[in-house]
Amino acid sequence: MSATGTFVCSICGEASQRICLYCTKDACDNHICEKCRRCSDCCECESAYAERSSASSETPA
């Protein structure tokens, strides 16, 4: 009765009402991407951005 969420975030254990569209694991609002609806493990938005960011630090000739 205490649990409000239907699921439990597979990453942090918080109550969740969403699941990753990719791996279908439970993920709370903190660990699911609003853009692609994937969990942090599957989201490619941030990873793609981080990859670019780190790459941009290196100035190509």
Check residue 32 for interaction with Zn ion (CB under 5 A): no
Structural tokens at position 35:
């853009």
Q: Min. distance of Cβ 2 from Zn ion in angstroms?
A: 18
Nearer to Zn ion, 5 or 41 (CB): 41
60 burial type by CB count under 10 A (0-12 exposed, 13-18 middle, 19+ buried): exposed
Q: Min. distance of Cβ 52 from Zn ion in angstroms?
A: 14
Question: Is the distance from CB of 20 to CB of 34 less than 8 angstroms?
Answer: no
What is the binding site for Zn ion (CB under 5 A)? 9, 11-12, 14, 20, 22-23, 28, 30-31, 33, 35-36, 39, 41-43, 45
